[in-house]
Amino acid sequence: QFAKIIATASYTPDNVVTNDDLSQILDTNDEWIYSRTGIKERHISTGQDTSDLCIEVAKKMLDESGLDANDIDFIIVASMTPDYQSPSTACIVQGAIEAKNAWALDVSAACSGFVYALTVAEKMVGASNKRGMVIAGDVMSKAVDWSDRSTAVLFGDGAGGVILESSQEQHILSSNLYAQGEKANCLQSGKSPVTNPWVKSDSSSKENSLEKLSMDGRQIFSFVVGNVSKTIKDYSEQIDYYLLHQANARILDQVSKKIGQPREKFLQNIEKYGNTSSASVAILLDEAIKNEILTLGSGQQILLSAFGGGLTWGNILIKL
Ligand SMILES: O=C(O)C1CCN(c2ccc(-c3cc(CO)ccc3Cl)cn2)CC1
């Protein structure tokens, strides 16, 4: 038994924040942001949480596939900004679309989340002839420190997903997941304090809020160019398009050069969304299909590659 993608969808909040909008609240400007990241604007929630974005994606996928919610056997949500520790965001989605036959699981792998979740889901479908939703969503705007211009300008909010169904022929040809935990401190977000009557805390009273995102950009940048290039260059001959996590346009420049592949094969939409963390590859895939650059069932070979906090990274080779 294999798995194949039968539907894709994506959703971003209506509210668009341009680089010029940011220069009104931060000591930054369009020229710096665009030249260093490739970002022109991003979609920022005006109140929707991660589950709300994921529910929009789930509903779009049911509409487009003609499936009923009860046809879905599992829902996996990848996010580094879940609504709660509990319930899982996947459970909130399951309840909202009334997918009564679906079990629900959240996956936490930062910006690699969609690739990690798709790999897990493919194993589930292949092993048990089931149908599942894999949705990646992040409201990064609630995680970033809006007084830190080095990170606040980079991120955006969004969600994207696929429906996987069992299939006789193989479509997900290979997937590899990686982690490098000793670099865990390069990208941290959402630490919750340990508070209880027995904690020998110092005088400062630990407030209950989550810590804001902090990132060692330089470390991550060099980690990505080195490790991602090394693990994807062996696929080169057979790839029509590369769908890399949209963290920074310079990454696409450097990785394409490092593996000797045409830059045009590296799809890009960071200018419109910024870095939507786990959702970025899912949004890129859906847009490429909706724009007819990619077509399900065409036999086109694409490589999804995501990388980020953890540090994690992962690659999936798919024949559409
Ligand atoms: O040019 C400059 O001064 C700055 C230098 C630092 N920059 C960075 C650095 C790292 C990332 C990044 C983030 C993630 C997390 O999703 C994953 C992968 C990467 Cl490579 C994005 N931007 C922005 C421009």
Gap between the Cα atoms of 146 and 150, Å rounded: 10
Q: Is 254 in the pocket of ligand 1 (CB under 6 A)?
A: no
CA of 196 to the centre of ligand 1 (A): 36
Choose which residue among 186, 215, 218 to substitute to test ligand 1 binding: the one with the highest number of ligand atoms within 8 A of its C-beta: 215
pLDDT at 234 over 90: no
pLDDT at 205 over 80: no
Choose which residue among 29, 155, 213, 221 to substitute to test ligand 1 binding: the one with the highest number of ligand atoms within 8 A of its C-beta: 221
Active site residue 111: yes
Read out DSSP for 36-99?
Answer: HH---EEE--SS--HHHHHHHHHHHHHHHHT--GGG--EEEEE-SS-S-SSS-HHHHHHHHTT-
Choose which residue among 29, 248, 312 to substitute to test ligand 1 binding: the one with the highest number of ligand atoms within 8 A of its C-beta: 248
Q: Is 220 in the pocket of ligand 1 (CB under 6 A)?
A: yes
Question: What is the per-residue pLDDT across 210-220, written as a single tens digit (0 to 9) for each?
Answer: 999 999 999 99
Question: What is the per-residue pLDDT across 280-294, written as a single tens digit (0 to 9) for each?
Answer: 999 999 999 999 999
Active site residue 245: yes
Mean pLDDT of 20-33: 97
Q: Which of 69, 39, 51 is nearest to 11 (CA)?
A: 51
> In this predicted structure, what is the pLDDT of residue 20?
98
**Which structure tokens are listed for 94?**
């399951």
Long-range contacts of 254-262 (CB under 8 A, 24+ apart): 254/225, 254/229, 255/224, 255/225, 255/228, 255/229, 258/225, 258/229, 258/233, 259/229, 259/232, 259/233, 260/233, 260/236, 261/236
**275 CA closest ligand 1 atom index:** 16
Active site residue 291: no
Which segments within the chain are labelled E, that is strand?
2-11, 16-18, 41-43, 74-78, 103-107, 132-139, 157-167, 172-179, 187-188, 214-215, 241-244, 301-308, 312-319
**Which structure tokens are listed for 144?**
């970033």
CA of 69 to the centre of ligand 1 (A): 38
Question: What is the per-residue pLDDT across 74-124, written as a single tens digit (0 to 9) for each?
Answer: 999 999 999 999 999 999 999 999 999 999 999 999 999 999 999 999 999
Q: Is 32 in the pocket of ligand 1 (CB under 6 A)?
A: no
Mean model confidence pLDDT for the chain = 96
**Which residues, 6+ apart, have CB-to-CB distance to 59 below 8 Å?**
97
Question: What is the per-residue pLDDT across 246-258, written as a single tens digit (0 to 9) for each?
Answer: 999 999 999 999 9
**Which residues, 6+ apart, have CB-to-CB distance to 18 below 8 Å?**
30, 40, 41
> In this predicted structure, what is the pLDDT of residue 202?
62
Mean pLDDT of 8-25: 98
Report the 10 Å Cβ neighbour count for 145: 14
CA of 286 to the centre of ligand 1 (A): 24
**Which residues, 6+ apart, have CB-to-CB distance to 260 below 8 Å?**
233, 236
Per-residue confidence band for 138, with pLDDT thresholds at 50, 70 and 90:
very high
Mean pLDDT of 131-148: 98
Within its chain, how far is the Cα of 185 from the centroid? Answer: 20
pLDDT at 201 over 80: no
Gap between the Cα atoms of 54 and 104, Å rounded: 13
CA distances from 98 to 73, 85, 90 (A): 12, 21, 12
Strand, helix or coil at 232?
helix
Q: Considering 43, 54, 91, 111, which one is annotated as catalytic?
A: 111
Gap between the Cα atoms of 243 and 258, Å rounded: 16
pTM passes above 0.95: yes
Gap between the Cα atoms of 102 and 74, Å rounded: 4
**Which structure tokens are listed for 290?**
């909706």
CA distances from 6 to 19, 88, 167, 194, 286 (A): 36, 25, 10, 44, 12
Gap between the Cα atoms of 4 and 233, Å rounded: 24
Q: Is 228 in the pocket of ligand 1 (CB under 6 A)?
A: no
